[in-house]
Structure 1
Amino acid sequence: MKRNSHPRGTDNVLLDLGFDDAEELSAKAALAFKLNELIAQRGLSQTEAAAITGMTQPKVSQVRRYKLQNISLERLMQALVSLDQRVEIVVQPARRARAAGISVAA
C-alpha cells in the first residue's frame, strides 16, 4: 500500500485551508481576539462597547462571534485605540526563512 504524502502546513491555518484572503482574516481574528478580551475584562455589554468604540451594537455582536467579513482591519484597530490600546504596524523586509506576508501580534 502506498502512503500518501501530506502537504506541510504553514503557521496560518486559514491559508492551509485555501482561503484567498487568509492573511487579512488572520490579522482580523487576532485583533478581534484582543478586542473581545478587553470587552470581557472590563465587563462591558455589547451596547456599552459600541458606545465606547463608536461601532454599532450589531457590529460589536459580529466581532464577539468572530463574524469579521464586513468589518475592516482599520475599524478593528480604531476600536482597540478607543479602549486605550496602542496599535503598531511594523513594516520590515521579509527574511529568507520567512516568506513575505502579514502577521499581527496582540
Structure 2
Amino acid sequence: MTRIDHPQGTDNVLLDLGFDDAEELSAKAALALKLNELIDQRRLSQTEAAAITGMTQPKVSQVRRYKLQNISLERLMQALVSFDQHVEIVVRPAQPAQAHGITVVA
C-alpha cells in the first residue's frame, strides 16, 4: 500500500482551494448566510427583500445564490442592519495560538 501525503488544510476551505481573496469571500459568505436566514424566516420574496435592503432584486438573487463577487462587505452589512441587526467590527491583536486574519461570527 502506497502512502499519499496530503497537504495540511486550514479552517478556510476557500484558502485551501487557492482563492486569492479567501478571507474576504469567507466573511461575505458568513454575512450572506445570516441575511438569507433572515429572508427565509420572514418568508420574503426577493423583491420584498430588495425593498427592505435597498438592493436591487438581481443583487438579492446573487446573495441568495452566494454569488458574492460583485457585492461588497459593506453592502452586506448595511443589508443586515436594514433587517434590524447589529453588526459589530472588532479589531484586536492576534493571539499567539491564533492566526492573523478576518473572522465573521453571524
TM-score, L = length of structure 1: 0.97
Equivalent residue letter for 1:24: E
- CA offsets 1:10-48 (integer angstroms, 9 cap, x no match): 110000111000000000000000000000000111000
Partner of 1:42: 42
Number of equivalenced pairs = 106
Partner of 1:22: 22
Partner of 1:64: 64
**Structure 2: unaligned runs, 5 residues or longer:** none
**Structure 1: unaligned runs, 5 residues or longer:** none
Partner of 2:104: 104
Aligned pairs for 1:68-87 (under 5 A) are: 68-87=68-87
Moved more, 88-97 or 53-62: 88-97
Equivalent residue letter for 1:21: D
Moved over 3 A (4+): none
TM-score, L = length of structure 2: 0.97
Partner of 1:93: 93
- CA offsets 1:51-94 (integer angstroms, 9 cap, x no match): 00000000000000000000000000000000000000011111
Distance in 2 (CA, whole Å) between partners of 1:46 and 1:4 is 47
Equivalent residue letter for 2:78: Q
Sequence identity of aligned pairs in percent? Answer: 85
